[in-house]
Structure 1
Amino acid sequence: MKVPASNILNIYFSNSQQKIFFIVLAILLFPPWIKAQDNNKAVYKIKKVVIDPGHGGKDPGTLGQHSREKNIVLSIALKLGKYIEDNVKDVQIIYTRKKDVFVELHERGNIANTNHADLFISIHCNSSLNKNIYGAETYVMGLNVGERNMEVARKENAVITLENDYSQHYEGFDPNSPESYIVFNLMQNTYLEQSLEFATLVQKQFKDRAGRHDHGVRQAGFLVLWKTSMPSVLIETGYLSNPKEEKFLMSDNGQALIASAIYRAFKNYKTMIESQSNFTVARADTNQSFFSVQVLTSRKKIPLDDKTFKKYKPVFEFKEGSRYKYTVGRSSSYEEIKNLRKQLLTDFPDAFLVAVKDYRIISLQEALKKMK
């Protein structure tokens, strides 16, 4: 005769002993030292991507012998968006344009910021007086290192002259004045490292899978990237001034190869960000918004009480991609944190201001805009 387990417990244990038995059993099965989720970690998911086909409408972009940049990049952008929508179901695609219309540069950034995008991809074609030059290159926001980078940025930024009252939208920026580009020397891109990581993956796919000549990852002062508050890249897919490359970029197969290369780079980037390097922060209460001063970036984890940070407190740690970012100070007052940065410059000459919200470092522009 089988005896139910509950009866066995009644035979051998009193009611109080049974309670202790189940408590011990629960502890053995679900030990309290194994946490389901660390309260100091917030899983970061890439949910929204903005795809920006350059130029459009009254702005044709660069002109090839038989083509216009605005048409080629729109076709590539739509193909890229479809690849992502069909194969990465948890990502929403937002376009700055889906047809032949003119969209002002500052509005392209606004679209990305308003939708709280996680990645901004601007797609373009290049040109050169030297018709023998061909190949692809990907730009991130930064200094115009070299005359060639400066020339590409100047050409892409010149589109603002087609806008009404463009000086108001770009704080007096003149795309043809070298002095105007000094502004990019005075700013730090909060998302530079993630942008570089994605840009590197794009170039790798162009070279290895699409068979394109690799001009590498470059930095230049693009206004369309300046206005975004997330990792952002501008991709020059090839040279329309080169007859052979123009023919490739005009073809459906060529456009599909370029779009699929960017798509594969995106998949690899998404996997890397989400699975290998979930966002981590040093304190459980950083879901509140505040300003801080970023002082260090490191590939190695640094204890928050390390002498590196000298006497400054509090210190916060954020892990983004393969790097750790460290900030000092916490305040809801922008003026107060600006004063702290001045004090920190003696020990950390490269220190710059950042904002923190919902476990994430966000751009200063985004934070200040919300304060208005």
Structure 2
Amino acid sequence: MYKQKIKIILSFLFILSGILIFSQKKFTIVLDAGHGGSDHGANRSYADIGRVAEKDVTLAVTLKIGAMLEKNRDFKVIYTRKFDEYPSLSDRTNLANRSKADLFVSIHCNSSQRPTAYGTETYVQGPNQNDENLEVAKRENDVIFLDEKDKQTFGSYNPSSPESLIALKLQQNKYLESSLLLGGLVEGNFVNKDKRFSRGVFQKNLHVLRMNAMPSVLIETGFINHPEESHYLASEKGQTEIAESIYNAIIDYKKAIDRKTGGSSFATKKPEPEKPAESPLKNDFRILLLSSPTKYNDGDPALKGLNYILPIKDNGQYKYYYGVTNMASIKDINLKTAKDAGFRNAYAVGFMPNQKLLTGYYTIEVYTGEKLNGNSFILQTLKDVERNKDNGVFYYTYGKVFTLEDAVKLQKDLESKGIKNTVIQKVFK
């Protein structure tokens, strides 16, 4: 009788342990093969290999990634499509949200009017940063007109309205850090493992990312219109290498998330005690990303997709600062975001609010390059522009203020007049 009871207890414990093992939530990832069905995406025909269509490349790469992930019991893989069909953008995002996915990865191929354009790019949700990114956004978003459901879901969205911009920034900030982390890992693998050229990680307003309630990335695996890269995208070797790089990035991403949550992405945390209200710091803090003799305009790949960047020219060097805050917690978040974007040597720099320069002043560098003629927009719009020349390069500056805050105001005033990509410059007496 005693042995029988022991057997029953052991059997019960065995069943219970099995239930606990199988009931543990897996890391759910939605893999989205871009385009499909009647939507071929970017495509180009070549004499030796025929037509290379984006929808075929994305499906092949996606299935390879999924096959690798499915061998790992920690992952649950969901596909938006596994064959040549066209799920609407609404179907893709709704599937991810219904599945309570932990990650959304959309695979695409790029194209450009410039036949020399090549390389990889990864996008996270955010405002369009420049004209080139805007063209990519238009191309990827145009598919909403293929499906009536998408027209209803996305058609009323106006990216220029204040309400839409506020909603976009709230969604973007919630998942931006994690999305940038994965984007940086993907692009890093393309460069270090596959020896390819990375154009960087960018923010872009993409419908297929904007509606997702999870970290999400869209990966442009290469340019269909570039002959050499297109052949690579269409080859078994190329598709396998791309899939392996993305797979390894996902594995490293999950490890990083596990470390952040104390060993498991799904560990149940005890509620933390309420923290006292944070007091503002005496200084404003900006994150110094890099110093360079080169001037980079907004959206340049060197800035790795980050917004809210303030360039300040100091002793001939352009210093690029990200974000501004007087709260320690936000400063730490900004610093981590910068490092996750690829600026490993970034650090916080304190600025005393409204501190006057005692040994000089601030001015605005409005143009550098060849000599402007009298009919130029800048010279027609502004009076009292100063011109200097150094090593054959002309530098045009405007204004004279004594605090950084006043310099920022002056710079914004110039932007409202249509003069953009200016730089605040320190001038020492």
Place the TM-score, normalised by the shorter chain, in its bin.
Answer: 0.5 to 0.7
Q: Is structure 2 residue 58 aligned with structure 1 residue 73?
A: yes
Contact 2:127 2:203 in 1 (8 A): yes
Q: 1:263-310 CA distances to partner (integer Å, 9 max, x unpaired)?
A: 1111111111102443799x9458xxxxxxxxxxxxxxxx92254279
Contact 2:115 2:226 in 1 (8 A): yes
Q: 1:192 aligns with which of 154, 171, 176?
A: 176
Contact 1:46 1:270 in 2 (8 A): no
Counterpart for residue 183 of structure 1: 164
Q: Is structure 2 residue 183 aligned with structure 1 residue 212?
A: no
Counterpart for residue 122 of structure 1: 106
Q: 1:46 to 1:273 in 2, by over 3 A?
A: farther
Identical residues among aligned pairs (%): 38
Contact 2:88 2:149 in 1 (8 A): no
- Partners in 1 of 2:104 and 2:163 — Cα distance? 24
- Partners in 2 of 1:213 and 1:121 — Cα distance? 20
- Partners in 2 of 1:45 and 1:141 — Cα distance? 26
Which protein has greater RCO, CA pairs closer than 8 Å, 6+ apart? 1
What letter is aligned with 1:304? K
| Counterpart secondary structure, 1:57 | coil
Q: 1:55 aligns with which of 18, 32, 35?
A: 35
Contact 2:26 2:76 in 1 (8 A): no
Q: 1:295-329 CA distances to partner (integer Å, 9 max, x unpaired)?
A: xxxxxxxx92254279xxxxx99x99x969xxxxx
Q: Which runs of 5+ in 1 are unaligned?
A: 1-43, 287-302, 311-315, 325-372
Richer in strand (by share): 2
**Residues 243-282 of structure 1 aligned to structure 2 (within 5 Å):** 243-278=227-262
- How far is 1:164 from its partner? 1.6
- Partners in 2 of 1:45 and 1:280 — Cα distance? 7
- How far is 1:173 from its partner? 3.5
**How many residue pairs align between the two structures?**
254
Counterpart for residue 232 of structure 1: 216
| Counterpart secondary structure, 1:64 | strand
Q: 1:216-254 CA distances to partner (integer Å, 9 max, x unpaired)?
A: 100000000011110000000000010100000000000
Q: 1:95 to 1:76 in 2, by over 3 A?
A: same
What letter is aligned with 2:44? G
Q: 1:90 to 1:130 in 2, by over 3 A?
A: same
- Partners in 1 of 2:161 and 2:222 — Cα distance? 27
| Counterpart secondary structure, 1:101 | coil
- Partners in 2 of 1:269 and 1:119 — Cα distance? 10
Contact 1:142 1:184 in 2 (8 A): no
Q: 1:78-135 CA distances to partner (integer Å, 9 max, x unpaired)?
A: 001111112x221011000000001000110111111111000000000001111110
Q: 1:91 aligns with which of 75, 78, 86?
A: 75
CA RMSD of aligned residues (A): 3.2
| Counterpart secondary structure, 1:228 | coil
Counterpart for residue 102 of structure 1: 86
| Counterpart secondary structure, 1:157 | helix
Q: Which runs of 5+ in 2 are unaligned?
A: 1-23, 46-50, 282-328, 338-429
Counterpart for residue 157 of structure 1: 141
Contact 2:29 2:75 in 1 (8 A): yes
- Partners in 1 of 2:149 and 2:253 — Cα distance? 38
Q: What TM-score does the superposition give when structure 1 sets the normalisation length?
A: 0.62
Q: 1:136 to 1:168 in 2, by over 3 A?
A: same
Contact 1:240 1:246 in 2 (8 A): yes
Contact 2:25 2:266 in 1 (8 A): no
Counterpart for residue 308 of structure 1: 279
Q: Is structure 2 residue 95 aligned with structure 1 residue 111?
A: yes
